[in-house]
A = this chain, B = another copy of it.
Amino acid sequence: MKAKATLKQIALEFGVSISTVSKALSDSPEISEATKIKIREYAALQNYKPNSIAKNLKNQRTNTIGVIIPNILNPFFAKVFSGIEKKALEKGYNVITGISNESFLKEKEIMDMLNSGTIDGFIVSVAEETQSLKESKHFKDIMNSGTPIVMFDRVSEAINCDKVIVDDFDSAFDATQYLIKLGSKKIAVLSTIDNLSVGHLRYEGYVKALKENNLVLNEELVVLEKDTEVFDNKLQDLMSNHKLDAVFALDEHASTMAMKFAYKNEIKIPEELNVIGFADGVWSKRLTPSLTTVSQHAPEIGEKAAELLIDKLNSKDEFYQPQTVEIKTELRHRESTRKL
């Protein structure tokens, strides 16, 4: 492997100065056509690429976004991520990724590590542990150091920054409402994520829909349980002891488990039981029957978050007012609910 082409090396080659080469390559009118041509040809031949680290150091910006995600195996986050990546590439930004694995400490460490000139700004979805501990100082510190943050989905109330969220409350309300319209009266609500801001909002939406339709909230039909094994047991009990006519599942585990138990107990979906679940992956379509879902437009969330961040990075405005963008969900009707 030969020495990498640099301005210096090229300058030496032609016996000119470094700045001449730099200007020639950036097509400056100061340089004669002849010089430009020979230098550019040589550079192309040598496959010269300006060292972006040096450029970054000079410019005091890296054109890189740090994305902190709780769990890349969750298809929602994977989809948001691909939206971010797409928009970033479009705008000439790189994406550097950290996975907090729902741990507060890891979230903090990764962010501190990256906040040392490596990235220009962050896009974050807050780790579960961070939310339950109500931690937010690390975010504040980072923003005080001059690094902007955009949060999505799981956001921190205590932080005043750009946010992209889903209308969890309203969409849960609408979905429940829809189940009621289908004639369902015994609607179970199932969740393994009630400790998350978004999870709890969804539950509240369910509660409100019941109230507005004068249905009593029966605690026995409510399973909010983080531990999936315990959840499965509780769900099994619920489904053996109650003849439900609908299930509203607030996450993917809950919806698939509900369908599994229905199958085992020979309860027909959707004839005897309507099922709606929050879901984003390709799996809701593949299930048998396919699942009616509240879809969160995950890629759009990612694109919007990237856009907000990049706009902020490119604006010189000191008094930029943070905004919160709400992305509307959509009820995707499939086979697990009856027709109206």
Chain A residues packing against B (C-beta within 8 Å): 1, 4, 47, 49-54, 56-57, 62, 64, 72-73, 75, 78-79, 81-82, 85-86, 89, 94-99, 110, 112-118, 141, 144-146, 253, 256-257, 259-260, 263-264, 281-283, 286-288
Which of B50, B116, B264 contacts A116 (CB under 8 A)?
Answer: B50
Alpha-carbon gap, A49 to B141, bound state (A): 13
Copies of this chain assembled into the complex: 2
Which B residues touch A73, using CB under 8 A? 75, 78-79, 82, 281-282
Given the contacts A47-B141, A73-B78, A78-B72, A99 and B117 also touching, CB distance less than 8 Å: no
Closest Cβ of chain B to A70, distance in Å, is 11
Given the contacts A253-B286, A283-B283, A288-B264, A114 and B99 also touching, CB distance less than 8 Å: no
Check B98 against A96 for contact (C-beta < 8 Å). no
Specify the chain B residue showing the minimal Cβ separation from A3.
B146
Check B64 against A85 for contact (C-beta < 8 Å). no
**CB-based closest 9 A-B pairs:** A51-B117, A256-B286, A49-B116, A53-B117, A1-B146, A263-B288, A52-B116, A260-B288, A96-B96
Which B residues touch A57, using CB under 8 A? 51, 53-54, 57
Closest Cβ of chain B to A338, distance in Å, is 18
Closest Cβ of chain B to A141, distance in Å, is 7
Which B residues touch A113, using CB under 8 A? 94
Which B residues touch A51, using CB under 8 A? 57, 116-117
Which of B97, B144, B259, B282 contacts A96 (CB under 8 A)?
Answer: B97
Query: 30 interchain pairs (CB within 8 A)?
Result: A1-B145, A1-B146, A4-B146, A47-B141, A50-B116, A52-B116, A52-B118, A53-B56, A53-B62, A54-B117, A57-B57, A64-B96, A72-B78, A72-B81, A73-B75, A73-B78, A73-B281, A78-B78, A85-B98, A85-B99, A89-B98, A95-B97, A95-B98, A96-B97, A97-B97, A256-B286, A260-B286, A260-B288, A264-B288, A283-B283
